[in-house]
Structure 1
Amino acid sequence: MNVSKQKTMLIAKIPLRVLLFALSIFLIILMGVAIGVGSVPISQSTVWGVIGNKLSFTNSLPTWSMGRENIVWAVRLPRVILAAIVGATLAVVGAALQSVTRNPLADPHLLGISSGAALGAIIALLHTGMILGVVTVPVFAFLGALFAMFLVLGVANFSMAHSAGRLILAGVAVAFVLTALGNLFIFMGDHRASHTVIFWMLGGLGLAQWGQLWFPFFTLLLGAGYLIYKARYLNAMMLGDETASTLGVPVQRFRLIVIVVCALLTGAAVAFSGVIGFVGLMVPHIVRLLVGGDYRKTLPLSALFGALFLVFADIIARVIIPPEDMPIGILTGLAGGIAFVFLMRQRRNVAL
């Protein structure tokens, strides 16, 4: 037994609550570091002093300028929280889709969900306007994601049991079509606003605002809560439709419910961050390598690892070409593409 397998076995033996607590503490520390990083460096004492003062945890007099307080509270803290929410959301979606499709290469980006959500958001931003108020973009992104997922299912003929790999191929084809439609709507829209939409499509967190964080946050709580509650079903789905059915899982209905939940989660994430690919592909595999394939562990740990990954990626995006912020989708795309090739090499038996 090699050293890596021994380490994996040791990690798998750690109680789930201990792992969740340790990763949560690490996430909080990393978020503090992320808030302090940028074109204007801010010390950790100032970061936590501002947060404590705003949350009334401390009553000490401020020793920092109003400008730094605004940077911490109004600009960087919402951005970092959004990064954690989006990272957790995409990782949970990837893990769930890999179960119901029984394909380790499934993620919201490859299955066309992100492209559908982006198409809906583009239509809302450039053509319909905010007809539903502040929820217009999230609602259109969700509808686009849902449309994309059902389109993929239709193209693949819903033949999951014997050809799950066809779903990936269908997702890639649908993603190309929806991306082309999105580009068409950009071309037909107001060219003065198109550059903003294009930058948004590259994936970014710079537009995060306190008033908008509630939607992706509560969507994550509800969606991930449902998936974790049904973790036993997801474990059964990994064994195949027939086996899952004998274990009491309503296979077709449950798969549809999971797809709708994943579309809602992806739409909520894409609406506020743009298209950020491959997080849902990489993170669940990393978690399964560490703790095994039990979805009672995989889902909550994927959420935390996804949050950690995207917060860290946001740090890199802000320091790699200062003072500019590189679109975070570029970084995740580079990392995800390399990871995808590696997984293709490791999973040669997956039928595509």
Structure 2
Amino acid sequence: MVYQGFLGAQHAILQAPLGPDLSGPALVAAVSNAGGFGFLRAPDQPRPDIVRQLIQSTRELTERPFGIGVVLHFDQDENIRMALEEKVTALWVFWGDFPEEKVDECHKCGVKVVHQIGSVEEAIKAAQAGVDAIVVQGIEAGGHVISQVGLLVLLPAVVDALRGYNVPIIAAGGIVDARGYVAALSLGAQGVCLGTRYRKFVATVESCAHPLYKRKIVDARESDTEYTNLYGRGRWRAPHRVIRTTSHELWKGELPPDGTEVGQPIIGHTTIYDVEEDVPRFSGKVPNFSTAGDVESMVMYASIGVGLIHEILPAASIVKGLVEGAQTIIQQQLGRFLDPSPCREGLTTMV
């Protein structure tokens, strides 16, 4: 639903950074042009040249606000410096601390800060640091998942804990349609996030994901994901949710608990930004449009919500569908429980 003026966007519908390079300028611009808020994803290595290129290329496609996301587990100082130099509207940070002095530095450059968290404790720390929005990620989310709690419980717990802080709260994890959108609002969120670990924006026309990856998302059922730590251990030992493909089921028992992708057979090749890379079995590299080889055997991050995704759509139609669908639910379904009043009118104008 929509928090008017959220980060300068028409709707508080966020397309989070799809990593490492799935949310390119075309997808981000499409989301922002449709009234949502799109986020690029910075490389996991210090590549300020790539950060500048991504931002400038996106500005050629949209005049609307957008941002860029960084994973704080990696060395991001140079990438953040470039984002501030380019004065993007917002910086998305995840998986690490971003203290008050860092937030202040962003604010001095005119850049807002969005912090994705997975616990009440993290949310309080982010709010105390002065961030401009908090994304609450439930364990239902796809990709790397920092939370250990379901969104149905975590979201209202964060809302209660942050009473008194003037910070918008955005819900993430398994939300793919207007029903999830309205449900998140009823739990106290001011908006929703789809994309990075939640996969809805992966399955779009503009996404840089490999066509097979998009098709696997569309074909997957709600029971076809698994929360695991199988992939990419040599680079980042973090739990994640993936599609249980045939290859995943075949090979998941072949890697010992202390094993990594290092030394595993090479099953394909990919270009991430401008770097050609091998893809070993159990790599954490998701297949993008350049990937060749045994794509079926590569990791495909996805949330529990994949069972509700049935087609590949333009990003703009997803934003439009969320807004219009939420309005319909409020007016036709929830509206019958409300007396005609200014309160009801207020609800219908939020989206």
Task: Judge same fold: TM > 0.5, yes or no.
Answer: no
Structure scoring higher RCO (CA < 8 A, sep ≥ 6) equals 1
* Bigger fraction of residues in strand: 2
* Bigger fraction of residues in helix: 1
Greater radius of gyration (CA): 1
TM-score bracket for the superposition, by shorter chain length? under 0.3
| Structure-1-length-normalised TM-score | 0.27
